[in-house]
Chains A and B, each alone.
Chain A
Amino acid sequence: MTLSQFFFFYNAIVIISTALLMVTRKSPVHSVIFMLIMFFHVAGLYLFLNAEFVAALQVIVYAGAILVLFLFVIFLLNLKVDRLERQSIANWPTAAVLSVAMFTVIAMATSGMQVGPGKYSIESLNRSFGIEGSSHIKAVGVLLYTKYIFPFEAASLILLVAMIGAIVLAKKSR
């Protein structure tokens, strides 16, 4: 086993086991902690795939913003311990069988998949924008601000709507 395969297996095993622990723990705070470990290992996998920008986004947005939001809400709600019983449906094996079957179908359908070279490689982007030899993040930024400028603006609008919506929904009604 080469070093890269060892690194992949370490990350994969930690991701799968913490995800399983996350969906099975009774206390939501434990779930959030397991999810934090999972997010950091997913970020490690992204670094391994030469995606530094996505790895940084994963740590900053998921681990830094979304999980803190979950923690704040859990602390805010003040869940009573006796109400935390009976958190799963009675016939959870049905859900387990369904998801295992789904995994089997996806794995069988995608095994041995071959992918061709894409149109937007880093080298060709850097050549067409005249920034040869620069980093990966620069190529992502240039593509984001030229070809994908409209979805980028739409994303900012989505965030604005989410901000206003969250304030309106969580506000105390008089």
Chain B
Amino acid sequence: MVPLDWYIWLASALFCIGVFGFLSRRNIIIMLMSIELMLNAVNISLVAFSHYMNDIRGHIMVFFIITVAAAEAAIGLAIIIAMFRNNDTTNVDEMTELKG
């Protein structure tokens, strides 16, 4: 039998790797993938709680999180394409137009 703690530790480790990737990388595509990593970590913890509580609402929440993640990826990648067309870069340090 696997204790609930192990799943929570796995999910928090995955979330912190996502945070590390988002903070340290400057490629906007990798940063968007780090966000997906963090959403996946939350999904793992929700499904684990749902199993250990014998409550099915966790699966419903995961369903909506996956929907929002798909929408976020589509919008984010469209923004990346638009910015690459204007700036010819995916490095966020070179995207300084909003500074004014």
* Distance, CA A4 to CA B51, complexed state (A): 15
Q: B75 near A162 (CB under 8 angstroms)?
A: yes
Q: Beta-carbon contacts of B1-41 to A below 8 Å, as 1s and 0s?
A: 11011111110111111111101111101101110110010
> Using Cβ atoms and an 8 Å threshold, which residues of chain A touch B66?
57-58, 61-62
B15 shortest CB reach to chain A, Å: 8
Residues of chain A lying within 8 A (CB to CB) of residue B15: 102-103, 106
A-B contacts, CB under 8 A, total? 235
Closest residue on chain B to residue A169 by CB atoms: B78
With A28-B30, A118-B55, A151-B64 already in contact, the answer to whether A65 and B70 are too (CB < 8 A) is yes
Residue of A nearest to B79 (CB): A169
Q: In the assembled complex, how far is the CB of residue A119 from the closest CB belonging to chain B, in whole angstroms?
A: 7
Chain B nearest Cβ from A42, distance in angstroms: 6
Main secondary structure of the interface of B (DSSP, over half): helix
Report chain B residues within 8 Å CB of A128: none
Contact A69 B74 (CB under 8 A): yes
The answer to whether B95 has its CB under 8 Å from any CB of chain A is: no
Known: A50-B51, A162-B70, A169-B75. A122 touches B56 (CB 8 A): yes
22 pairs across A/B with beta carbons < 8 Å? A5-B1, A19-B37, A35-B37, A50-B51, A53-B63, A62-B66, A66-B69, A69-B74, A70-B77, A83-B91, A88-B26, A89-B24, A95-B19, A96-B24, A98-B20, A102-B15, A103-B13, A103-B15, A106-B12, A115-B53, A122-B56, A155-B63
